[in-house]
Structure 1
Amino acid sequence: MAPGVKPKGPASYFPSIEKKYGHPVQHWLDLVVGRLDGHAHMEVVRWLGSEHGITHGHANAIVAFVRAHLDG
Structure 2
Amino acid sequence: MATNTVKGPASYFPSIEAKYGRPIAEWKDLIRRQDGKKHMELVAWLKQEHGLGHGHAKALVADTVRK
TM-score by length of 1: 0.85
Identical-residue share of aligned pairs (%)? 55
Provide structure 2 residue ranges, at least 5 long, that are not aligned to the other structure.
none
Q: Which residue of 2 aligns with 1:45?
A: 43
Provide structure 1 residue ranges, at least 5 long, that are not aligned to the other structure.
none
Q: Distance in 2 between matches of 1:45 and 1:20?
A: 17
Q: Which residue of 2 aligns with 1:12?
A: 11
- Cα root mean square deviation, aligned: 1.0
Q: Please state which structure has a larger fraction of its residues in helix.
A: 1
| Deviation beyond 3 Å, 4+ runs, structure 1 | none
Counterparts of residues 23-62 of structure 1 (less than 5 Å): 23-35=22-34, 37-62=35-60
SS of the aligned residue for 2:66 comes to helix
Aligned residue pairs total: 65
TM-score by length of 2: 0.91
Q: Distance in 2 between matches of 1:40 and 1:32?
A: 11
